[in-house]
Amino acid sequence: MSDYRAPVEDMDFVLQHVVDVASLQDHDAFAHVDTSELVAILDEAGRFFSEVVAPINRIGDTQGSQRNDDGTVTTPDGFVDAYAKLVDAGWGAIALDPEYGGGGFPWVVGLAVEEMLTAANMGFSLCPLLTHGAVHLLISHADEEQRNTYIPKMVTGQWTGTMNLTEPQAGSDVGALTTKAVRRDDGSYGITGQKIFITWGDHDVAENIIHLVLARTADAPPGTRGISVFIVPKYLPNDDGTPGEPNSLECVSLEHKLGIHASPTAVMAFDDATGFLIGEEQTGMRSMFTMMNSARLSVGLEGLALAERAYQQAIEYANERLQGERPGLDKGEAAPIAEHPDVRRMLLTMKSYIEAMRCLCYLNAKALDDGHHAADADRAQSARELGELLTPLSKAWCTDLGNEMTSLGLQVHGGMGFIEETGAAQHYRDIRIGAIYEGTNGIQAIDLIGRKLPMRDGAAVAELLDDAEAQAGALTGQLEPLAKPMVEAVAATREASAWLLTNHGDAALAGATPYLRLLASVVGGWLMLKGAAAAQAELEAGASGQRAEFLEQKLVTATFFVEQLLPAQVGLMPSIMSGNDVLAAYHPAL
Known catalytic residues are 438
DSSP 200: T
Residue 542: partners with Cβ closer than 8 Å, 6 or more residues away: none
Nearest CA-CA partner of 399 in 307, 269, 319: 307
- Cα 557 from Cα 356, distance rounded (Å): 9
279, 260 Cβ separation under 8 angstroms: no
398, 303 Cβ separation under 8 angstroms: yes
Dihedral angle, C-alpha 141, 144, 146, 151, nearest 10 °: 80
First and final CA of the chain: distance in angstroms? 42
- Cα 63 from Cα 461, distance rounded (Å): 46
208, 235 Cβ separation under 8 angstroms: yes
Instruction: Report in angstroms the alpha-carbon separations of 390 from 306, 397, 452, 463.
Output: 20, 10, 9, 13
Q: Residue 88: is it exposed, middle or buried by C-beta count within 10 angstroms (0-12/13-18/19+)? A: exposed
Q: What is the DSSP string of 328-371?
A: TS-TT---BGGGSHHHHHHHHHHHHHHHHHHHHHHHHHHHHHHH
